[in-house]
Structure 1
Amino acid sequence: MNIENMEAFVYVIHYGSFNKAADALFLSQPSVTARIQSLERELNCRLFDRIGKQVQVTEEGKRFLPYAQQLLQIYRKGKEHVQYKKQLPNELRIGCTVSVANYLIPGLLPAMREKYPQIRFKLQTGTTDELAAKVLNKEVDIAFSRPVNHPEIRSVKLLLDPIRLHVYEGHPFLREENLSIEAIGDEPLVFFECGALDWLRIHRVFESLNRPPRIEFQTDNSETAKKLVLRKAGICFLPGICASQEVAEGKLFPIDFPETSGISMQTCLISFQGEHTEIVQEFASMMKSRTGV
C-alpha cells in the first residue's frame, strides 16, 4: 500500500477538498485525484462521494481514516528513527511571535545554551501564519506561535496566559470593591490586538456592554500598549506574561471580571512532524518546570 496515497486521503479529509489538499501537498489537483483513485482500487471501495465541486467522505472512508492516520504516524516515527542523528545541529533556527520574543525567549535561551553549548541560536519573528509556513518550508526548525492545525505540523502546548484588564498605580478602579465591567466605558482604553481568536472574545464582551469602551489607542505591539498604560494614557487588557514584571514591581495592577474569566492567550511550540524531537521536549520540559503546568 502506497504511503503517499494514504497521505493524500488524510489531507483531503483534513482540508475538505481536493484542491486545498493539493496546495498543502505541493501537488496538482489531478495528482491528488489519481492517488485517491489508486487507494480506492487497493481497498476495493469508494472513499469519497463527489457531489459537484464538493467531496464527502463515505462510511468506508470514515472507518478507514483512523487506520490511515495510525499508519502515517508509524511511518513517520520509523523514518525519524532511521534518520535520527545523535549529533545536534550547529545552528537552531527559531521562529517566534513578537510577544514571545519579548517576554518568553530571553528567559529560555540562556538555559538552552547551557545545556547545548555547541548550538548557535538564530531568531526571527513573524505572525503565526508566517511561522507555520516557515516550518513547512523548512526555513525555521521550530517556532513559538499560537495553536496551528495542520497534519504535517506537531503542536505542543507550552503556556496558557490569562488576558486581564491592567490599570496603573493610583487608578480609581483600585478603590472600588464591587467593580462592574460596565465601568470601563468611562475610561480611555488602550487596545492591544494581536489577531488571535482570543481577542475576538474580548471584542464580543465589549459588544455585550450597555456602553461600549472608548478605544482611544489601538496597537498590535504589547510593549507599546503597556507603556501607554504606564504613562496613564488609558487602561488595557494584556496577557499576564507581558506585564508580569510591572505587576511584581507595583506599577501595574490586574483586575478580574467574570465576563472575561477564561480568556487566555495560548502559546505552542510547533515543528515539522517527526523532527527536532529532543529540542521540542527540552523546551516543553523547561516551560513545565517554570510554570508548574
Structure 2
Amino acid sequence: MNIDHIEAFLYVVHYKSIHKAANALFLSQPTVTARIKSLERELNVELFHRDGRSVILSDKGKDFVPFATQIVQTFQQGKKQLEETQESDEVCIGTNGVTAQYFLAYALPKWKNDFPHLRFQIITGSTAVILEKLQSHQIHLGLIQYVHREGICNELLLSNAVKLVMHHEHPFKQQKQIKAKELAQQKMVFFECGAFDWNYVHKMFEVEGVTANIEVRTDHLEVAKEFIRTKEYMSFLPHLCVKKELESGEFVEIDVKHLLDMNQHIFLTYKNKETLAPAFWKTIVETAVQFESIQENLN
C-alpha cells in the first residue's frame, strides 16, 4: 500500500475536491485521480461517488478514514524519529560560560579538523537551563555539572581545581594554617557559574560556627575578577580562569587545602548517543584528556 495514495485520499476527504487537493499537494489533478483509483483497486472498494466534478465520500470511504489517518500519522512519527537519530551536520552544545571559554575554545578547532562537515552551535546557561534544552531535544549534549534525572546520562569529562584568590595588594596577610573564622571576616564575591557545589564552601565556615561574608554574587567571570582587582575582595574561582593572573602575580592564591579541596566537575551529559556519530563522542573524551594533560604540564 502506497503512503502517497493514502495521503491523497485524506486530502480529497479534507478538501471535498480533487482539484483543491491537487493544489494543496502541488500535484496535477490527473495524478491525484490516478492515486485514488489505485487505492480503490487495492482495497477493492469505491471510496468516493463521482458526480461530475464533485466527489462524495462513500460509506466504505467513511469507514476507511480513521485507518488511513492512523497509517499516515504513524508513518510521519516514524519518519521524524529516524530523522532525529540520523547524524546531524550541526552539533548543538549547551554549557556554562567557563567551559565554553576555556575548554571549547581549545576543543572545537580540533573537532572541526577531524569532522570538517560539522557545524557547531554553543548555547551557554545555567545547569537548569541546559538540562531543559537537553530534555526538549534543543541540544545534542551538555557540558554541565552532574544532574540526576531519569533518562539523562552523565559521564565525568573534566575536573578543574577551584582556588581561593585575591589581589596581590589585598591587605589580608596569609598565614600557613589559616582558619575559616579569619576568612569569614573578609569580603567575598561568589562566582556562580552553575558548576560548583557551594555547599562545601558554606560547610567549611559552618564547622567553626561562622558565616562567609558574601557581599556580591555574580554569574559573570570578568565581573568577579574586577571585584578582586579592587583589592578588597577574594573569591573562589576555577584555576583555568585565573591561571594567567596567578602566573603574572596580579592575583595570589590563598592556601585553604587544609580546610577545603574543591574541584569543578564537568560532565558530558546526554539523552541519546545515537544522535551523533560514535567517532565524535570518542573524540570529545580524547580531547578532554589531552586538555587536562596540557594544563597539568603547565602547572
Q: Tell me how large the CA RMSD over aligned residues is.
A: 2.6
Q: Distance in 1 between matches of 2:103 and 2:134?
A: 20
Residue identity (%): 25
Relative distance call for 1:124 and 1:195 in structure 2 (3 A) is closer
For residues 29-44 of structure 1, the aligned pairs below 5 Å read none
Partner of 1:186: 185
Q: Distance in 2 between matches of 1:133 and 1:200?
A: 23
For residues 52-91 of structure 1, the aligned pairs below 5 Å read 88-91=87-90
For residues 143-162 of structure 1, the aligned pairs below 5 Å read 143-162=142-161
| Cα offset, 1:172, TM superposition | 4.5
Partner of 2:132: 133
Partner of 2:268: 269
Partner of 1:213: 212
Which amino acid is the alignment partner of residue 285 of structure 2?
A
Partner of 2:120: 121
Q: Distance in 1 between matches of 2:220 and 2:116?
A: 32
Q: Distance in 1 between matches of 2:178 and 2:112?
A: 46
Partner of 1:226: 225
Partner of 2:164: 165
| Cα offset, 1:119, TM superposition | 1.2
Q: Distance in 2 between matches of 1:198 and 1:165?
A: 15
SS at match of 1:288: helix
Which amino acid is the alignment partner of residue 90 of structure 1?
D
SS at match of 2:128: helix
Partner of 2:287: 286
| Cα offset, 1:184, TM superposition | 1.4
Partner of 1:12: none
Kindly name which structure, 1 or 2, has the bigger radius of gyration based on alpha carbons. Answer: 2
SS at match of 2:92: strand
CA contact (8 A) 2:135 2:271 kept: yes
Cα offsets for 1:13-58 (capped at 9, x unmatched): xxxxxxxxxxxxxxxxxxxxxxxxxxxxxxxxxxxxxxxxxxxxxx
Which amino acid is the alignment partner of residue 223 of structure 2?
T
Relative distance call for 1:233 and 1:161 in structure 2 (3 A) is same
CA contact (8 A) 2:160 2:240 kept: yes
Partner of 1:252: 251
CA contact (8 A) 1:269 1:280 kept: no
Relative distance call for 1:162 and 1:253 in structure 2 (3 A) is same
Which amino acid is the alignment partner of residue 126 of structure 1?
G
Partner of 2:17: none
Q: Distance in 1 between matches of 2:218 and 2:201?
A: 15
For residues 87-98 of structure 1, the aligned pairs below 5 Å read 88-98=87-97
Q: Distance in 1 between matches of 2:166 and 2:91?
A: 39
Cα offsets for 1:211-237 (capped at 9, x unmatched): 433222222223311221123231111
Q: Distance in 1 between matches of 2:230 and 2:106?
A: 26
Relative distance call for 1:230 and 1:111 in structure 2 (3 A) is farther
SS at match of 2:280: helix
Relative distance call for 1:153 and 1:185 in structure 2 (3 A) is closer
Q: Distance in 1 between matches of 2:282 and 2:229?
A: 37
CA contact (8 A) 1:202 1:260 kept: no
| Cα offset, 1:146, TM superposition | 0.7
Q: Distance in 2 between matches of 1:235 and 1:210?
A: 20
| Cα offset, 1:281, TM superposition | 1.8
Which amino acid is the alignment partner of residue 289 of structure 1?
Q
CA contact (8 A) 1:159 1:266 kept: yes
| Cα offset, 1:282, TM superposition | 0.8
Partner of 2:107: 108
Which amino acid is the alignment partner of residue 192 of structure 2?
E
| Structure 1: unaligned runs, 5 residues or longer | 1-82
| Cα offset, 1:161, TM superposition | 1.9
SS at match of 2:146: coil
Q: Distance in 1 between matches of 2:239 and 2:282?
A: 24
CA contact (8 A) 1:188 1:214 kept: yes
Q: Distance in 1 between matches of 2:103 and 2:132?
A: 22
CA contact (8 A) 1:205 1:259 kept: no
Which amino acid is the alignment partner of residue 118 of structure 2?
I
Q: Distance in 1 between matches of 2:186 and 2:127?
A: 32
TM-score (norm 2): 0.62
| Cα offset, 1:144, TM superposition | 0.9
